[in-house]
Amino acid sequence: MLRRLLVWGSTVGFVVAGALPLAAQADTINPPLPVTPEVTAPLKRAISISQPRDFSAADRKKVIALAKKAGARAFPGRAVTLGLVKVHRVDSTTLKKTVVQKVLKGYQVPMSTTVQDIEVVRNLMSLQAAEALQANTIVMGRSSAIIRGARIGDIVTLLDIRDKQHEFVIGNIAEDILVGEADLLLSPRQADMLGAKKITRYTIIGFTNATALENAIRIAGFRDGNAFHIRKTWDAPNPDATRGLAATKRMVGEFAYKVSESGKVLLEGGWPQKFISPRTVFGDIGIKAACNVNVRVAIQGALSEVRRQGLSRYVDVGNTNAYGGCFYPRYNRLAGKLGYLSRHSWGMALDMNTSVNGQGVVPRMDCRIVRIFRHWGFAWGGNFTPSDGMHFEYVGERRDNLVFPSRYCPNIVGAQR
């Protein structure tokens, strides 16, 4: 049975192997990681309330109070991107250091990082991961470990909010399904050390009456939509959930980056030339874009089907070519320091019809086109928090066959698309 962990707002599917930079195809040149039995915690019921921004003091009090009234506990969580600059290991006998991964000076590898209370990890994820955090070591997801050839006991150097370096020992390598396909899992204590203090999520566990708690959450003003994202461990898989960054990097590549004085995101030399196609025109519909080479086939397939279905007139090619496209290295619009890079930095997302699908507004994308792109392995941003109806993001798996009560453009399963 698929074990779903929804407290980070994503539904994890299978990992699609792809090109791996930096580690130079680490799956093949490094010995495979030993698969040890993961001591998973019993999957208890949980409800998460998340938002892209920091929770206000008033909202924090509301969540804690409604959880307490339900006989439950609400634990604050965080989602940040940390910069990795080095991974090395020390031989226990000779004390000789071996560099596993090191990036150019001034650059950093973006590492998606989930911060959770150890009690949440113990109750919802893995007992081994909880023990690692308790010992003040960190947890790395399996895909992330494979990319860089890392092992338990390796030392990871991360940058804090002031770009100061901190070393952490890997105490556990957890299966992707348990950590939401993130690169790293840290404790609140470790995140505080790095200056990652913004609370973006509350996870509520220990309740007995789920219906009463859901009603209390709604009455308190926390509704699934543009401001908040509400997920439950018993929810069906969401067709528009994005993939975790570690699994994403296995599909489309990992890079190191730096930010120039002007604020521009610069990728390591050679990465765009290897992974981003020239800005060329797709067949059938004349969209011209530079996209990740591992995503172009899926985009072409979707656009060709749009034309076969007679829907070309609903794609504003002129607008898309002028203001949309795929590859654009930048921080997400809602991100700050330790925020996350837009998936456009990997050239894996296509924006179309931008003039009528601004962020946070009711999307105006034809739902037939949405379902075609889902069929070709894309999640649609119209159901993001906040909505982003122009955005189609590659997830590497079919998504038009999932029954889910989407706010906009729900799938029509079993019917002619």
Q: 109: how many CB neighbours lie within 10 A of its CB?
A: 27
SS (H, E, C) 104-153: CCCCEEEEEEEECCHHHHHHHCEHHHHHHHHCCCEEEEHHHHHHHCCCCC
Residue 25 has pLDDT above 70, yes or no: no
Segment 244-298, tens digit of pLDDT: 999 999 999 999 999 998 889 999 989 999 999 999 999 999 999 999 999 999 9
Say if CB 381 and CB 391 are below 8 A apart: yes
Segment 185-201, tens digit of pLDDT: 999 999 999 999 999 99
Residue 8 has pLDDT above 80, yes or no: no
Higher pLDDT, 360 or 16: 360
Residue 30 has pLDDT above 50, yes or no: no
Average pLDDT over residues 222-229: 92
Confidence (pLDDT) at 24: 32
Both tokens assigned to 281: 């025109």
Residue 55 has pLDDT above 90, yes or no: yes
Q: Give the separation between CA 87 and CA 109, rounded to whole angstroms.
A: 11
Radius of gyration of the chain (CA): 21
3-state secondary structure of 86: strand
Query: Residue ranges of the alpha helices (H) in 268-316?
Result: 271-275, 296-308
CATH of domain 276-394: 3.30.1380
Both tokens assigned to 137: 């070591």
The DSSP line for 353-368 is: -GGG--TTS-----HH
Segment 299-316, tens digit of pLDDT: 999 999 999 999 999 999
Average pLDDT over residues 81-100: 94
| pLDDT bucket at 41, cuts 50 / 70 / 90 | low
- Whether omega for the bond prior to residue 329 falls within 30 degrees of 0, making it cis, is no
Average pLDDT over residues 117-121: 97
Confidence (pLDDT) at 43: 58
Q: Give the separation between CA 173 and CA 192, rounded to whole angstroms.
A: 22
Residue 61 has pLDDT above 90, yes or no: yes
Domain boundaries, the chain: 26-232, 276-394
| pLDDT bucket at 10, cuts 50 / 70 / 90 | very low
Residue 32 has pLDDT above 60, yes or no: no
